[in-house]
Chains A and B, each alone.
Chain A
Amino acid sequence: MLAAGCGGGQELTLAVAVLPSELPVYRAAVADFERASGRHVVVVPQQYADIRRALAAERAARRGTLDLVELDVYSLAAAARDVAVLSRADVADLLDELDPAAVRAGTVDGLRFLPHRVSWQALIYDHAVLGNPPATWDELLAVARSHPGKIGFKGARYEGLTCDVLPFVWAAGGRGDVLDDAGAIAAFRLFAALAPYLHPESATMKEPAIAEAMARGELVLHLNWPFVMSLYASQGLSPDPIRSAPLPRGPAGRATVLGGGYLALPANAPHREEALALARHLLGRDAQERFARELGWFSARRDVAVEAGGAALGGFAAMRDVVRPRPERADYPLISRQWQEAFRAVAFSRTDPEAALRAAAARLASERH
């Protein structure tokens, strides 16, 4: 149990998934709120999974110590019953400033989650080797053919793989929640064409492993989140040779998956009004600009620009207008797993794309029943 509790009146407890290196900056932003409100805030840095479990435990216990929590966008639907519904009237001014797509992702049977920071994937590429990154699917295939074994996908069975798959499905006009529509089939035909040229460890790769492989020069391109650029910068690998670029354009354009952290008030938050005031402070322009400037976070506020990271973050900035939330459905985790299984069948077992997608759709139908 992570709670550093505060039954008394003066302390608020905030559980957020910040890294130890990010904590001083985050704490400084919270200190502004403390000065203005006279409230002390206990910031508990935790992983998203631990926050989610603490939240569920507090709901089961019907009493709580957490006033405000940050949750991963992927887990919002699952955590919806553990948090309070927010009154739109209470945050109307805030909603006017936030990206509607990001707000929509936080609406699960009512507005429950507010976007604390948003994130999305871009193409990470080796500028020294490729020069210009591939801008279309045909160019991507051409790069793969000329650099066999050096194209990376996060191919392990986990949500990160779905985040690699969905942008291609959307870019081909697919819905994202239908496994065998025309867009999905077109995207999986591309995956089948890329399969022979994938890095041989793709089947087990997650974010850290694929980022390491790129740093060792084993990859010329892969998809990843903005945090890798600061990692490469700290290793002297960015902005040269490693840079970011927009994802290659498909038959229906470009798209990328929305990620990030959302703030919510636990169902049993002991100081709801004060917690909402803290949330408003953290989502305010000053705090969000500080996070963007000093931590490199992307804000869902439309009046806070993606921090101009030059060549390093340029690809991410260029993708901002095509960020899409994952399908907003209660059975999304089941769909996500089938995207993963279908990709692995096509990429690593060389199954025919249409057959793999049909099989995935059949499994999904069976699981739903």
Chain B
Amino acid sequence: MRRDSLLALPLVGYLALFLVYPTLYAVKLAFTDTIAGSFPSLQNFRTLAGDALFWAAVGGNLVLPVLTVGLELASGLALALLLAARLPGRRLLRAAIVVPFALPEIVFLTIMRHILAPRGYANGALAAAGFEPVGWLLPGRWTTYLTVVVVDAWHTTPVVFLMLLAALSALPEEVGEAARVDGARGVRRFIHITLPLLAPAILAALMLRGLDALRVFATPLVLTGVEGVPVVSTYAYHQWSDYGNDGAAAAAASVLALLSVVLAVPLLRRRRAA
């Protein structure tokens, strides 16, 4: 065995102990009937299939990441373009944009929950302006999905913003100059020059946030509980914590892992092609 391979052994051991073993154990648990104690068994997956909340969670896991990442990319790109320009006070603005990400997630979400509660600050402000209160977090409503999307995007847009700002700063100035000399300005310059040059960074941001968004957990759970905007991770948590059903929780987590892999493959292929 080569000496540099030996140096990798501690890392391999760490990964085997803390990643591979728990993953294999979770998969085994998913295929174990915890009541009868039999293995292999599809009982946990039958439990999932017969639960309407699980299917709502799968739907939520498909819709929520698409909307959230789409919003993050749009707002992150807009903010990066705005703050790449030499605006007065741009350092302060950049810091302000990063604040939600700098806050611990649970603190940020608890603050948001208090703001968006039926008698929270948001509805207080609306009432003061003479408007009707809005049910920001009422279970099962489209406004609640929208609220979760916006709050989650607000919290994580700084990641996309910083990636795209760094990429914008690294764009060769002579290309922009050449485009300007050739008469490309405004939207045309953005579409035909800036956007293609930013494509690798956008794809990287899409991959990073896309995969991360599939694991969305705290935002829907803290804002709306398990049933408000269900996703697979909160469903797994619900089975584990509310029903003590480790097997069904492991089965749901396995479905989420499978979903992540299936959706990640095209993104990885695209990234390799790019």
Contacts and interface: CB of A to CB of B under 8 A. Distances in A.
A99 interface: no
A203 B139 contact: yes
B228 interface: yes
Contacts of A333: 243-244
A205 B225 contact: yes
A209 interface: yes
B117 A213 contact: yes
B238 interface: yes
A203 B120 CA distance: 19
Contacts of B224: 204
B242 A157 contact: yes
Interface in A49-107: 49, 52, 75, 78
A201 B118 contact: yes
B137 interface: yes
A206 B228 CA distance: 12
A157 B53 contact: yes
A217 B119 contact: yes
A177 interface: no
Interface in B212-249: 224-228, 238, 241-244
A161 to B, nearest CB: 10
Contact of B244 (A49, A212, A218): A49
Contacts of A327: none
A333 B35 CA distance: 12
Given A157-B53, A216-B119, A218-B119, A200 B135 contact: yes
A212 B118 CA distance: 11
Interface string A261-299: 000000000000000000000000000000000000000
A237 interface: no
Contacts of A218: 117-119
B226 A156 contact: yes
B140 interface: yes
A312 to B, nearest CB: 23
Interface in A199-243: 199-201, 203-206, 209, 212-213, 216-218
Nearest to B135: A200
B227 A204 contact: yes
B138 interface: yes
B205 to A, nearest CB: 32
Contacts of B139: 201, 203-204
Interface residues of A, number: 23
A200 B227 contact: no
B235 to A, nearest CB: 10
Interface in A165-201: 199-201
Given A157-B238, A213-B117, A218-B119, A337 B225 contact: no
Interface string A133-164: 00000000000000000000000111100000
Contacts of A75: 244
B70 to A, nearest CB: 26
Given A201-B139, A218-B117, A218-B118, A78 B227 contact: no
Nearest to B110: A212
Contacts of B226: 156-157, 204
B interface SS class:
loop
User: Which among B118, B120, B137, B226 has the greatest number of chain A C-beta atoms within 10 A?
Assistant: B118
Contacts, number: 54
Contact of A209 (B119, B140, B225, B244): B225
Contacts of B242: 156-159
Contact of A157 (B117, B135, B138, B227): B227
A201 B243 contact: no
Contacts of B241: 49
A338 to B, nearest CB: 13
A204 B72 CA distance: 27
B39 to A, nearest CB: 14
Nearest to B242: A158
A156 B243 contact: no
Contacts of A212: 117
Contacts of A159: 242
A68 to B, nearest CB: 22
Contacts of A216: 117-120
A200 B227 CA distance: 13
A203 B241 CA distance: 17
A82 to B, nearest CB: 13
Contacts of A206: 225
B228 A204 contact: yes
Interface in B92-140: 117-120, 135, 137-140
Given A156-B225, A157-B227, A203 B140 contact: yes
A173 to B, nearest CB: 29
Contacts of A156: 225-227, 242
A278 B118 CA distance: 48
Nearest to B118: A218
A361 B228 CA distance: 26
A156 B228 CA distance: 9
Lowest 8 CB-CB distances: which A-B pairs, in order?
A204-B225, A158-B242, A203-B139, A204-B228, A216-B119, A200-B138, A204-B139, A204-B227
Interface of B: 53, 117-120, 135, 137-140, 224-228, 238, 241-244
19 contacts: A49-B241, A52-B244, A78-B244, A156-B225, A156-B242, A157-B227, A158-B238, A158-B243, A201-B137, A201-B139, A204-B227, A204-B228, A206-B225, A212-B117, A213-B118, A216-B117, A216-B119, A333-B243, A333-B244
Given A158-B238, A213-B118, A218-B117, 8 more contacts: A157-B227, A158-B242, A200-B138, A204-B225, A213-B117, A216-B119, A217-B119, A333-B243
